Every structure is written in structure tokens, then in C-alpha cells.
Amino acid sequence: MFQVFMPKFTDIGQHVPGSDPYFDKDVRMAEMAASLVTLGIGAVTSSLSGSPVPSVVSVVCVIGLICLYESALRAPGNPNAKPV
């Protein structure tokens, strides 16, 4: 679900932190939306299968992807990079 809601890593990599507060806000809103959908799918799958594994996997994936996107968002971007 992160692929649907989130911008590409190349877009985030070209962003200079602090230059556009709306970009940061949009990325964080997309993180929340993708996280909720991913956790919801994990919860539904867990309830249908009777196993807690899908919920645990979705939580681990959400934590990992949020850390990845946040680190990319906070990394200094290359303002001279060409759009991909």
C-alpha cells in the first residue's frame, strides 16, 4: 500500500529538507494513510485466518517502511539533481 500512497524515493531524494514544509506534510499524511490501510489489511487477514502472523507482519512492514521514508525525507537532498 505504501507504493500507492507515497511519492517515489527519487522525488524524496531530490527534496531539500525544510525547503517546502507542504511536501513534508504531504509525505507524512501519505505515511499515515498507507499505514492505516496496511494495518487494516493485516487485521482483516488475521481475523479471517485465525492467525496473528498477518498482523505481526503488517506491523513490522509499517515500522520498517516509515523508518525508511523518514530517513529519506530527512536526508540532505541534491538540489541540482535532474527529475527522473
What span, in angstroms and rounded, lies between the C-alpha atoms of 29 and 61? 17
Task: Give the pLDDT confidence of 28-74 residue by residue, as tens digits.
Answer: 899 999 999 999 999 999 999 999 999 999 999 999 999 988 888 88
On whether residue 67 sits in a domain, the answer given is yes
84 found inside a domain? no
Between CA 66 and CA 69 the distance in angstroms is 5
Q: Domain limits at 49?
A: 22-74
31: in domain: yes
Residue 8 lies in a domain: no
The rounded Cα 12 to chain-centroid distance in angstroms is 11
Check: CB of residue 31 under 8 Å from CB of residue 22: no
pTM: 0.80
In a domain, 60, yes or no: yes
- What is the Cα–Cα distance from 15 to 60, expressed in whole angstroms? 27
- Whether 18 shows a pLDDT value over 70: the answer reads yes
Residue 65 lies in a domain: yes
Evaluate whether residue 9 is within a structural domain.
no
Per the structure, the count of domains in the chain is 1
Within a domain: residue 40? yes
